Amino acid sequence: MILQLKNIQQKKNGNKILKGVSIDVPEGSFFVLMGPTGCGKTSLLRIAGLLDSPSSGDIIFKGKKLTSRKKELLHTRRQIASMFQSPVMFRGSVSSNVGWGLKIRGIKKPEIASRTEKVLEFVGLSGFAERDASTLSGGERRRTALARALVLEPELLILDEPGTSLDPAFKRDLLKRIKEIHLQTGTTFVMATHDFTDALAVGTMGAVMRNGLIEQSGMMDDILFKPESRFMASFTGVRNIFPADFAGTEACVRQLTITHSGIKQGHGFLAIPPEVIVLSLAPNLTSERNRFNGTVKSIERNGTNWDVTVEVSDIPIIVAITTGALEELEIAPGTDIHLSFKASAVHVF
Amino acid sequence: MSHLFEAFSIALRMIVSGDPGVFSIALRTLLIASVSTLLATLLFVPLGCLINFSSFKGKRLAVGFVQTMYSVPTVFVGMLVFLMISRSGPLGGLELLFSPWAIILGEVVLIAPIITGLTISALQSTGKGLEDTAVALGGGRRTVILKVLSEAKYTMLTSVLMGFGRAVSEVGVAIMVGGNIAGYTRTLTTAIALGVGKGETAPSIALGLILLSLALIVSIIVNLLQHGGRK
């Protein structure tokens, strides 16, 4: 592990911002810290970047527990670089901004010039070296800030909401560039975002925070496909979340019995991702263990796809289908329809 | 009205012809205000930096007090300095009363809060983000402070010029501790006050125009620096 945060607590003005957070960041990973605004992501990142000291808890960098000794902190901080949500540009040119971190490390001018040129090309800012940093657009400022951090060749790069307030095209482009840099350099990245889609675009693993605590952590696929709580299911965009009474592999949602692949007893919740449900006009002869009849209640556009709400025994179930599938099925509100999904696709928590 | 026009034209002639009486007062005023500003800068810019970069209990209260003192009446400062340097005062032995040094001392006291307070504001205006960025890029405490100072230099220079503007245009301190002695402690403001009282309109207008020009020059420089600072 390159970075381990153990039971981190942080108080600000008497409020507990972090209530005992622990994360392990493996070397070379792209670790994404997710969660809604105000859940403590930035506070945790500032501690990870050694910009703030926690009220309690341990920071372990490359296996060594850090103390509060200033010299040790500065030495470690120089192996980490942080890029903030709203990057601040120093007065002067783009190259002077990018080269500043090298200058204070005593690197000679010719080397600074060559490394600055290379890194600007790397982040897609060739030809920007002499531009006044105050004239840059939002996206260019972020790329400059990224170059300013990357040029230091840090072992750990921390990014706080790099895509915030950028228009979707710029954001996609920036995240794509960040991912490419991660793959090319092998540097460990820790990124905070409130947008789960951004996290999926770049992350290999991560943790979801809520109210100063970690709600769930692990590989991105597990976070996406195996939400462990109702909050997680909702955060990862899973719809069709229902309260249910469980008995082994069966769950009763009102009068509907749904089969799932886990074993659970008592009361809880289940979620059926709209993308895993198959619609058909005739009963489907498949191995799927959940097969129901229903009536189409509404059809609404959702981006490039469609959300079809099917009422099954008074329970509205949303099914996501493509435009092609919608045209093929020729359905409209009131159409009787069959839906099916696998037991393994049902999340229970 | 014609009297006023005549006085204006005489005043302009005095300025254009370089009237020695008018210009010696103007030069003395400039010299006194410059020395005051220099001394106040040397003493109170570092104090402003110290307050800004250190953490102590009651810091916000201290900054609030300094800012309140921006508008302290000049006659109050004049009285305070008078009591300090008068023969029976604690600094009476220095025999500064009714000398240019008395005015300098008074002006230093007068502009001290402006220079201290505006220095703090200038440093704070760079924002926590700048300091954080410098720290995040590996700056130690000293490097970070130097970076913040470098980023705030134009705004800090503005605070010094604001102090100079206040020093050059004040009248209370100069009259009370300078005594308005002709050829020795008479400044533009005290000379104008005396001239108007005596009915000498033309020289007062000439002195007033010079004072106005000085204020205008300071204002232009401040504006230019603020514009440059935003770049």
Both A136 and A224 in a single domain? Answer: yes
Beta strands in chain A, from DSSP E residues, in sequence order: 3-12, 15-25, 30-34, 56-61, 64-65, 80-83, 156-160, 188-193, 205-210, 213-219, 241-253, 256-271, 278-280, 290-302, 305-312, 315-321, 336-341, 347-348
Q: Does A100 touch chain B (CB under 8 A)?
A: yes
Return the closest-CA partner of residue A307 out of A271, A228, A298.
A298
Q: The domain that contains A171 carries what CATH number?
A: 3.40.50.300
pLDDT attached to residue A79: 93
Q: Which domains does chain B have, with CATH numbers?
A: 20-230 (1.10.3720.10)
- Tens of pLDDT, residues A15-55: 899 999 999 999 999 999 999 888 999 999 999 999 999 99
pLDDT attached to residue B139: 92
Return the closest-CA partner of residue B29 out of B210, B217, B204, B196.
B210
Both A123 and A272 in a single domain? Answer: no
Give the tokens for residue A46.
């500032």
Residues B175 and B153 sit within 8 Å (Cβ to Cβ):
no
Which of B55, B125, B133 is best to mutate for the A interface (most A CBs within 10 A)?
Answer: B133
Place of tokens 């859940």: A39
Q: Is residue B231 predicted with pLDDT exceeding 60?
A: no
d(CA B44, CA A84): 34
Tell me the mean pLDDT in the region B17-37.
91
pLDDT attached to residue A59: 93
Return the closest-CA partner of residue B7 out of B187, B206, B190.
B206
- The pLDDT mean for chain A works out to 90
Inter-chain touch A152–B137, beta carbons under 8 Å: yes
- Tens of pLDDT, residues B119-156: 999 999 988 899 999 999 999 999 999 999 999 998 89
% of chain B surpassing 90 pLDDT: 66
Residues B194 and B123 sit within 8 Å (Cβ to Cβ):
no
Both A172 and A86 in a single domain? Answer: yes
Domain boundary pick from A214, A234, A254: A234
Q: Is residue B85 predicted with pLDDT exceeding 60?
A: yes
Which ipTM value was assigned to this complex?
0.77
Inter-chain touch A78–B143, beta carbons under 8 Å: no
pLDDT attached to residue A172: 85
Both A282 and A342 in a single domain? Answer: yes
d(CA B43, CA B54): 17
Q: The domain that contains A271 carries what CATH number?
A: 2.40.50.100
Split at pLDDT 50, 70, 90, the class of A200 is confident
pLDDT attached to residue B146: 95
- The pLDDT mean for chain B works out to 90
Q: Is residue A324 predicted with pLDDT exceeding 60?
A: yes
Both A308 and A288 in a single domain? Answer: yes
Split at pLDDT 50, 70, 90, the class of B6 is confident
pLDDT attached to residue A33: 95
d(CA B152, CA B225): 11
Query: Across the interface, which of A81, A88, A104 has its CB nearest the CB of B130?
Result: A88
Residues A342 and A289 sit within 8 Å (Cβ to Cβ):
yes
Q: Does A111 touch chain B (CB under 8 A)?
A: no
d(CA B94, CA B96): 6
Residues A338 and A292 sit within 8 Å (Cβ to Cβ):
yes
d(CA B79, CA A65): 61
Q: Which amino acid is at A155?
A: E
Both A53 and A34 in a single domain? Answer: yes
Spatial neighbors of A234 by CB under 8 A, at least 6 apart, are: A241
Q: Measured between CA atoms, how close is B133 to chain A, in angstroms? A: 7
Show residues of chain A in contact with B140, CB under 8 Å: 74
- Tens of pLDDT, residues B159-207: 999 999 999 999 999 999 999 999 999 999 999 999 988 888 888 888 8
Both A71 and A104 in a single domain? Answer: yes
Tell me the mean pLDDT in the region A181-206.
90
Q: Is residue B1 predicted with pLDDT exceeding 80?
A: no
Coil, helix or strand at residue A244: strand
- Backbone phi, psi, residue A314, to 5°: 65, 10
Lowest mean pLDDT among A249-258, A270-279, A282-291, B34-43: A282-291
d(CA A320, CA A316): 13
Domain boundary pick from A234, A263, A285: A234
CA quadruple B72, B75, B76, B81: dihedral positive or negative?
positive
d(CA A98, CA A81): 12
Q: DSSP string spanning A74-113?
A: HHHHTTEEEE-SSPPPPSSBHHHHHHHHHHTTT--HHHHH
Domain range for A189 is 3-234
Closest chain B CA to residue A84: B133
pLDDT attached to residue B229: 55
β-bridge pairing A188-193 and A3-12: unpaired
Distance of CA A125 to the CA centre of its chain: 26
Spatial neighbors of B31 by CB under 8 A, at least 6 apart, are: B100
Q: Count of domains in chain A?
A: 2
Tell me the mean pLDDT in the region A160-170.
82
Q: Measured between CA atoms, how close is A82 to chain B, in angstroms? A: 6
Residues B21 and B155 sit within 8 Å (Cβ to Cβ):
no
d(CA A198, CA A163): 8
Q: Is residue B78 predicted with pLDDT exceeding 90?
A: yes
Tell me the mean pLDDT in the region A322-342.
92
Place of tokens 């080397």: A111
Q: Does B9 touch chain A (CB under 8 A)?
A: no
β-bridge pairing A56-61 and A80-83: unpaired
Query: Across the interface, which of A70, A81, A132 has its CB nearest the CB of B137?
Result: A81
β-bridge pairing A156-160 and A241-253: unpaired
Both A228 and A280 in a single domain? Answer: no
pLDDT attached to residue B228: 65
Residues facing residue A311 across a β-bridge: A295, A316
d(CA A91, CA A96): 9
Both A140 and A283 in a single domain? Answer: no
Domain boundary pick from A234, A258, A285: A234
Both A150 and A136 in a single domain? Answer: yes
Both A115 and A80 in a single domain? Answer: yes
Q: Is residue B230 predicted with pLDDT exceeding 60?
A: no
pLDDT attached to residue B107: 96
Split at pLDDT 50, 70, 90, the class of B90 is very high
- Tens of pLDDT, residues A89-118: 999 999 999 999 999 999 999 999 999 999
Show residues of chain A in contact with B225, CB under 8 Å: none
- Backbone phi, psi, residue B230, to 5°: -80, -20
d(CA A57, CA A10): 9
d(CA B36, CA B18): 26
Residues B33 and B188 sit within 8 Å (Cβ to Cβ):
no
Both A113 and A150 in a single domain? Answer: yes
Split at pLDDT 50, 70, 90, the class of A251 is very high
The secondary structure of chain B in percent helix, strand, coil, rounded to multiples of 5, reads: 80, 0, 20
Q: Measured between CA atoms, how close is B39 to chain A, in angstroms? A: 29
Closest chain B CA to residue A49: B136
Q: Is residue A195 predicted with pLDDT exceeding 90?
A: no
